[in-house]
Chain A
Amino acid sequence: MGRIHVRTRINGEATEFLCDPRQTLLDALRDELQLTGTKEGCTTGDCGACSVTLDGLLVCSCLVLAAETEGHDVGTIEGMAQGETLHPLQQKFLEHAALQCGVCTPGFLVAAKALLDREPDPSEKQVRYALAGNLCRCTGYDKIIRAVLDAAAELRGDTR
């Protein structure tokens, strides 16, 4: 089977790549485009380490075929910081010590940003349920939840 030529936008940038018809978006990002910030934890959609956005919608990139992204917008962790400035979520994760090993962190940040984009003022419970698809084994989630709530508050402040 030949490889498929895919034209897409990744983090706002027009991007082309070739992929195997069976290749997942996760593998294409990591192996074809060297965007290794998106992590593989399970390949079955259970851990959220490979979270990306597809046209703004949060997805597990291990459950999306790379070829499906033709003509669509993909957002990954590599697109979250703007130049030299971290996104408030990234900054708050650092300030709250919300990561230990850090391998789940990109997925959490992408998922948290997807939450705050649609719900700028979430309750703790909303944050917990929105991030229930992302596994963290190090932190017990406490500091992650606090960082997201703090970032949400700061983002609301910025836009008011």
Chain B
Amino acid sequence: MSDERKYRWVGTRPIRHDGVDKVTGRANFGADFSLPGMLHGKVLRSPHAHARIVSIDVAPALALEGVKVAITGADMPDIASEMGTAGEGQVDYAEVSRNVMAREKALYDGHPVAAVAATTSEIAEEALSRIVVEYEVLPHVLTVDEAMAPGAPILHDHLRTAGLDPVPDEPTNVAQRIEIGRGDLAAGFAEADEIVEHEFTTQMVHQGYIEPHAVVARSGEDDQSVVWCCTQGPFTVRAMCAKLLGLDVSKIKVIPSEIGGGFGGKTTVYVEPLAVLLSRKAGRPVKIVMSRQEVFRGSGPASGTRIRVKLGAKADGRLTAAEAWLAYEAGAFKGSPVVAGAMCMFAPYAVENVKIEGYDVVVNKPKVNAYRAPGAPPAAFAAESALDELARKLGMDPVELRLVNAVKEGSQAIYGPKFRAIGMVETLQAAREHPHLKAKLGPNQGRGIATGFWFNAGMQSSASVSLNEDGTATVVSGCPDIGGSRTSLALMAAEELGIDVQKVRPVVADTETIGYNDATGGSRVTFATGMAVIESARDVVRQLRERAASIWGVELEQVEWNDGQALPINGADEGELEPLSIGTLARRAARTGGPISASTSLTARGAGPSFATHICDVEVDPETGVVQVVRYTAIQDAGKAVHPGYVEGQYQGGAAQGIGWALNEEYVYDEKGVLQNPGFLDYRMPVASDLPMIDTVIVEVPNPTHPYGVRGVGETPIIPPLAAVANAVRDATGVRFGDLPMSPPTVLARLDAR
């Protein structure tokens, strides 16, 4: 049904509703908000990777004119361990509390140890330098290798490895061991004609959103706090501030600003609870804006990893066995996305004998946070690089090898369920037919392909649709719009109501104006919040038909809604009833039963997975080791693209981030565990001159569980590029790069060693 439907608005490319505000500088982002009488907060951070905090003396800071309050770990309530939602994942509030403010120990360079609020940010900065902290520096671990080694320095004395039976009673840095699999691995490898085995490492990388975290908090004597901040999850910020400070959720109101990028990185709290606490103590509003250096040192990047992969296949390409071992850095507290990585890495393939073993490892680096398809890119980098080597050994075309093994509707996913309609085969076929695959390569150039899979999330959403008295409409949701989702929601309402999308005003509301919404994350807003909008809009349409039926004196079944007006049908059309437009019905609402609006709260199930195939051409400079991406094509299943311009944008942006991960981005630490490149000059993200145009193909295999067939699209695009680039470099140079990033010195060294 959904694939045959003709759409009037869905699938068009209107100008986004918040567009003019954003091209004129009028849009208010996190740091753009201020209040009268506001204080400026600053955070003192540990300069050590691992240190016992012997004492902190804030008195010299408080003695400075203009400094109003100071807080340390002693001011934070001790809270019990309790799991809560953050983005797509789960976090322990007790550990969030200890991440936003250190207690007995500082666990990474950048870990907050104190905060102050003063009348100006200059005075606050000066105050930080007067706080006296006595540290006892401890030995540290920075990588999974160091952290898992026998006798390694231990971050948390209480930590035991979950997932082992029995759980060993020894302190460890391994928070969890997981294993997934099926079939008979040994038999699978015995059956194979070819076997490949490779090892891979990736480095910690950052989401790199351009807008640093920013917050203004205002607290009153009645314990009520209002928090203005840039976040993907205003309800998450509300829950975390309440939990961390021991307050009822109803005491906190979060008003999300426009958000300057997040990519998963703004699904938890850092400075928000500190601002609330400072404002409560000071009795004045407090603003905290992170510097870029603080964003790198003190917010949550993505895990560095070590991964081993072994694949076996028959001569015809059919995979007989797949084995993997993954260890992911969690940062200073447990909770790396190793589970998701393990579940995703072979998900595109129907292989019967599988064993994947994963380790969640704490290290003295910032606690990782979600980054676009959290956990999947390093795992797919390993799996797709190994597949490329397998194709070479088998003498097979890499697209054909993947087609032979591709999952389709009815295939049992390695992580459990049977796939419903999915587009893995369709994206590979689109790749095979794309002119890019047939284009000639120049000297020093090579081509690589790789695929990607992401589950996508549904989760909880609330949205309302209100009909205005002139027949226009307002759509209210509680999911911050991070890449055009507001307009996608308006398109869906316009489709159902039958009115121009520019007559629909979509609004992102605060936590007191709309029902609960999980965060913008998991590629879920257009899918899940969209469902809530569609349901609400359909309710509004039903009410409109009821009003028309009562005006006409006919039954509801005798009124059809079509193109923004009520039409008489089923016998009612035999009389002389004129159609009633939405505007007419809206104007007469007061006399036909009152205002017309509807709201829907739901848990969206059936988020359809999105598969992608990317094609990458690189040129490798043999004299400098510089790898330039010269052509790139991203092909992905969107189910149904609601606003194709913003779907393409997700493909292009994800590809660019993945290219950065492959080629240049990495956290660089010195031997003391201090981050050496906490700035955009040395943390080298792709700039315009680094990239070519990024061609896109939107494949549409409708998601059977969504009214329009929509799938989330935001995360999958970052998964294939790491291997697509590495496979292209392999093609160009004959060298397999298992260690990312493939930065010029690394590439040059390997080329010279050939």
Interfacial residues, chain A to chain B (CB-CB below 8 A): 20, 22, 30, 35-44, 46-47, 49, 76-78, 80-81, 86, 90, 93-97, 99-106, 109, 124-125, 127-129, 131-146
Which chain B residues border A80 with CB–CB below 8 Å?
24
User: What are 29 inter-chain pairs, A to B, with CB distance below 8 A?
Assistant: A38-B25, A40-B31, A44-B681, A46-B292, A46-B680, A94-B15, A97-B13, A97-B484, A97-B648, A99-B23, A100-B482, A100-B649, A101-B258, A101-B482, A103-B211, A106-B23, A124-B693, A125-B689, A127-B688, A129-B689, A131-B687, A132-B687, A132-B688, A135-B210, A136-B210, A139-B656, A141-B656, A141-B686, A142-B693
Which chain B residues border A145 with CB–CB below 8 Å?
688, 693
Q: Mark B256-292, 1 if CB is under 8 A from A, else 0.
A: 0011111100000000000000000000000001011
Bound-state CA distance A128–B689 (Å) is 5
Beta-carbon nearest neighbor of A93 in chain B:
B23
Bound-state CA distance A124–B654 (Å) is 21
CB distance from A140 to the nearest CB of B (A): 3
CB distance from B29 to the nearest CB of A (A): 5
Contact A139 B649 (CB under 8 A): yes
CB distance from B729 to the nearest CB of A (A): 19
Contact B645 A142 (CB under 8 A): no
Beta-carbon nearest neighbor of B211 in chain A:
A103
Other contacts beyond A100-B484, A137-B207: 4, CB < 8 A: A36-B25, A49-B210, A90-B20, A100-B653
Beta-carbon nearest neighbor of A37 in chain B:
B25
Bound-state CA distance A128–B685 (Å) is 15
B694 at the interface (CB under 8 A from A): yes
Beta-carbon nearest neighbor of A106 in chain B:
B25
Which chain A residues border B657 with CB–CB below 8 Å?
137, 140
Contact A140 B680 (CB under 8 A): no
Beta-carbon nearest neighbor of B18 in chain A:
A102
CB distance from B512 to the nearest CB of A (A): 24
CB distance from A13 to the nearest CB of B (A): 15
Interface size on B (CB < 8 Å)?
58
B679 at the interface (CB under 8 A from A): yes
Contact A143 B259 (CB under 8 A): no
Instruction: Determine which residue in A30, A90, A141 has the highest number of CB atoms from chain B within 10 A of its CB, and name it.
Output: A141
Bound-state CA distance A76–B26 (Å) is 12
Is chain A's interface secondary structure helix, strand, loop, or mixed overall? loop
Contact A141 B691 (CB under 8 A): yes
With A43-B291, A137-B209 known to touch, is A101 a contact of B261 (CB < 8 Å)? yes
Bound-state CA distance A147–B483 (Å) is 17
Contact B209 A101 (CB under 8 A): yes
Bound-state CA distance A106–B28 (Å) is 12
Bound-state CA distance A140–B680 (Å) is 16
Contact B20 A94 (CB under 8 A): yes
Give B13-39 interface residues, CB cut-off 8 Å to A. Answer: 13, 15-16, 18-20, 22-29, 31-32
CB distance from B712 to the nearest CB of A (A): 15
Instruction: Determine which residue in A90, A95, A136 has the highest number of CB atoms from chain B within 10 A of its CB, and name it.
Output: A136
Which chain B residues border A36 with CB–CB below 8 Å?
25, 28, 31-32
- Picked from B15, B211, B261, B652, the residue with its CB within 8 Å of the CB of A140 is B652
Bound-state CA distance A97–B122 (Å) is 39
Which chain B residues border A78 with CB–CB below 8 Å?
24-25
Contact B210 A137 (CB under 8 A): yes
B107 at the interface (CB under 8 A from A): no
Contact B261 A138 (CB under 8 A): yes
B646 at the interface (CB under 8 A from A): yes
Contact A135 B211 (CB under 8 A): no
CB distance from B434 to the nearest CB of A (A): 17
CB distance from A155 to the nearest CB of B (A): 16
